[in-house]
Amino acid sequence: MTPSPTEQVAIVGATGALGFGLALRLGRAGVPIVIGSRDRERAEEAAARAGETVPQGTFSGAENSQAVAGAGVVILSVPFRNQSEILKGVRDTLGEGALLIDATVPLAAAVSGKATRMLGVWQGSAAQVALEMVPDGVKVVSALHTVSAASLADLDHSLDQDVLLCGDSRADKRRAAHLLQRVDGLRCVDCGRLEMARIAESMTALMISINAKHKTHAGVRITGLPDDDWE
Ligand SMILES: NC(=O)c1ccc[n+]([C@@H]2O[C@H](COP(=O)([O-])OP(=O)(O)OC[C@H]3O[C@@H](n4cnc5c(N)ncnc54)[C@H](OP(=O)(O)O)[C@@H]3O)[C@@H](O)[C@H]2O)c1
């Protein structure tokens, strides 16, 4: 796959587990990353840590709405209970045509339930909540639910797994795939419309159960697909 032209990529919640691991991997692949946080200093500290871990990467830190302003791609990686509040805080700075890649999962853990159970979400999925909240012209793709933060953050670990992409526009999914597949060992699979995110998100609960059972950080691989069809 030809590398995507380098758009500014902001990761909201990249001070946390999944976002930080993804920042390291994308940074190592040559993608300049803006780490977003509710707190500018925390974002800057995380950017400095990322720079120490991946010296060849380009990382900066900013308060969430500053991080999002001017970003072509925004990855949202925050707990479900905070997703709507954080989206409310950044939606006015999301630019027309921006792509929001939503990794949020409505785990029951968000309301003190088990991490192996899901919450019912009126809209169907966290990604559909995001779609409902962003301004017209902002694109939403759901992704990354089966990728473990720990395996992303361990840069010595070779990734060899699929990323399940759901979204209503093939072009938006292609844009997300061109970015995420810059990470060695990640292959993006088009799983259909955004409403399929309900199932992809629930796979996080399944992965948590598998990982607990086998004491590992497993990933998923879909077999029988044609070769890379994102061109
Ligand atoms: N961890 C995984 O392996 C994994 C895998 C697949 C999907 N996911 C999903 O990806 C999302 C992020 O997961 P994570 O494990 O990275 O989460 P996390 O580390 O708990 O949180 C990520 C970031 O969200 C912000 N945040 C945390 N609590 C908050 C609160 N009470 N109010 C507002 N913001 C808060 C924090 O950023 P600031 O405090 O800096 O603002 C934090 O660094 C979740 O929806 C999770 O279910 C996780």
Over pLDDT 70: what percentage of the chain?
Answer: 97
With a cut of 60, say whether residue 4 has pLDDT above it: no
What's the whole-number mean pLDDT along residues 68-90?
97
Q: How far is residue 20's CA from residue 153's CA, in Å, rounded to a whole number?
A: 7
Q: What is the pLDDT of residue 188?
A: 97
Domains of the chain, by residue range, sit at 9-214
Q: What is the DSSP letter of 123?
A: T
Q: 119: Cβ below 6 Å to ligand 1?
A: no
Is 104 buried (19+), middle (13-18) or exposed (0-12) by CB count in 10 A?
A: buried
pLDDT band at 18 (very low <50, low <70, confident <90, very high): very high
Q: What is the DSSP letter of 107?
A: B
Q: 16: Cβ below 6 Å to ligand 1?
A: yes
With a cut of 70, say whether residue 200 has pLDDT above it: yes
Q: What is the pLDDT of residue 2?
A: 43
For ligand 1, atom 15, the nearest C-alpha belongs to: 17
For ligand 1, atom 31, the nearest C-alpha belongs to: 82
Q: Ligand 1 mean position to 223 CA, how many Å? A: 30
Tens-digit pLDDT profile for residues 95-133 = 899 999 999 999 999 888 999 999 999 999 999 999 999
Q: Ligand 1 mean position to 214 CA, how many Å? A: 24
Question: Of 134, 128, 126, which is closest to residue 95 (Cα–Cα)?
Answer: 134
For ligand 1, atom 43, the nearest C-alpha belongs to: 16
Q: 77: Cβ below 6 Å to ligand 1?
A: yes
Atom of ligand 1 minimally distant from the CA of 18: 16
Architecture of the 9-214 domain: 3-Layer(aba) Sandwich (3.40)
For ligand 1, atom 37, the nearest C-alpha belongs to: 13
For residue 185, give Cα distances in angstroms to 34, 113, 214.
Answer: 23, 33, 22
Tens-digit pLDDT profile for residues 40-77 = 999 999 999 999 999 999 999 999 999 999 899 999 99
The helix (H) or strand (E) run that includes residue 26 is helix 17-28
Q: 42: Cβ below 6 Å to ligand 1?
A: yes
